[in-house]
Amino acid sequence: QIMLGKEVFLKKTAKSFTLITIFTFFALIAKSEEKNYSVIVSQYINSIDEFSSSFMQIQNNDVNEGMFYLKNKRIRIEYSSPNKIVFVLKKNKAMYYNHELKEVEYFNPSKTAGGVFLDFFYNKDFLKNAKITKEKSYFFIKKQIIIDDEISNVEIYFDENPINLRKVIIDNSFGKTSFAIINPDFNPSLDDKIFSLVNPLL
C-alpha cells in the first residue's frame, strides 16, 4: 500500500509536471511573439529616413487636419485647418508658430504630446515596458508616459501586412486625442529648410 501510494503520488506529480511544462511552453511562445513584434516595430522605425503624411487629429470632438513630416531626427507638424499652426521639434528644443497671430514660442518638447512622436521614432528604449496587443489584421503598442506632469495612456496602432503606422491615441485628464496617419510617403525628398527652428518672423 505504501508503494501504491508512492506510485499514485508520482503519477500525479508527473501529470502536474507535464501540465506545467505545457503552460510554460505556450507562455514562452506568447512572450516570443511579443518580442518579435518589438523587433518588427524597431526594424520599421529604423528603415525610415524621411517620412511625410497628411493627418487628422480629433480631440474632444474638435477636428484638425494638416501634414506631418520627419527627417534628420526632427519633426514638423503643420496644421492647416481650422487654424494654420506649425510645430517643429527636435530632441531638446521645439518651436510653435501661429501664422494668423504672428506668434512664435520656444519650448522643451520632452513630456509633451509632441515628445511622444520624438520618443517613438528616435528613442531606442521607447518599447521597453510597453505592452503589445495583437488583433486580427493589426496590432497596437500601449504605454504610460508622463505628459504635462501627469500619466497619459498612449496607444500606437499599426497595420500588420504590410506594417504601417496608422494612429496614435493619447488619453489623459485633458481628454482623448486621436492622431490618424493618412497617405504615408516614405520617399518624399523633403527640404531641410522646413525643419528649421529659426524664428520665421525675423
What does the pLDDT read at residue 72?
94
- The whole-angstrom distance between residue 182's C-alpha and the CA centroid of its chain comes to 16
What does the pLDDT read at residue 149?
82
Conformational region of residue 43, where left means phi above 0, alpha means psi within -120 to 50, and beta covers everything else? alpha
DSSP 28-50: HHHHHHHHHHHHHHHHHHHT-SE
Output helix, strand, coil percentages for the chain, rounded to the nearest 5. Answer: 30, 45, 25
What does the pLDDT read at residue 128?
87
Nearest of 70, 159, 52, 172 to residue 120 by alpha carbon: 70
Model pTM? 0.79
What does the pLDDT read at residue 1?
52
Which regions in the chain score pLDDT beneath 50?
2-6, 8-35
- The whole-angstrom distance between residue 166's C-alpha and the CA centroid of its chain comes to 10
Nearest of 125, 105, 39, 114 to residue 69 by alpha carbon: 114
State the burial class of residue 163 (Cβ atoms within 10 Å of its Cβ: 0-12, 13-18, 19+).
Answer: middle
